[in-house]
Structure 1
């Protein structure tokens, strides 16, 4: 199984993923962003883009990598990764389904003011124009398709540990 943690930058996906992994036996965290980093190292470069998710190989390689990891290890993969383009989500989720891999899709959500504060005050990454630039596309995706495709966890007033507990309770209930 895959527990996919979606949501915009600064919402706490990476922190929450590590906590979810600790609560689900035989689970591992797989950050699909690493696949994008591999593709960014191709030389000569792939066509210019502002987001590696726009490269079709990223989407298929995420599916293949997740499948191969699960085939090798079994268990559960916890995947913290922002995907805001519905057609990209469909491509990934259908690819995983073709391998018979169930996906539990969660969106970690926070209101805009909370997100702006978290991004501004991030002591590890610092303020980031890139991360701020995804707030509007996130809101648009949430209103158009994300809210109907995933279980929403509002992190505005809860800790990452509480969010992780809610995710694991939902996974265990199904």
Structure 2
């Protein structure tokens, strides 16, 4: 798009220069005395000034052409350099993103293991509490059993004493 604009501008400049030259020739002709004969010094002066002007415009046009082509070459090189920088940054960003994703995966896996451990820990904790309750219940049963044994022994002793008393009374 820009190149097309520059080409159009160049052709526009060339057309303008041609028009200026034509206008200069026409005005030179109109300034003459009408007979078509001018003073030679005046004609040489105008011709040399026109020639100088044409040379000056031509040199400006050439430097414009050279500078625009150099400018476009420089702009193109700058754009390529910028693209390379951006590609490098993009690759760096992709690598950093891959690193961060792998770290995120590791953290997620670690969190899953921790949650599994905590759920296992919770189940182990509940199981331990259930076992402790069973142990305390059994200890209570053992105390009751020991009391029952002592009561049973006492009752046996009383029974034996009563049997002796009854046997003495019946004799």
**Same fold, TM-score > 0.5, yes or no:** no
More strand by share: 1
| TM-score of the aligned structures, taking structure 1 as reference length | 0.18
The structure with the larger Rg is 2
Where relative contact order (Cα < 8 A, 6+ residues apart) is larger, the structure is 1
More helix by share: 2
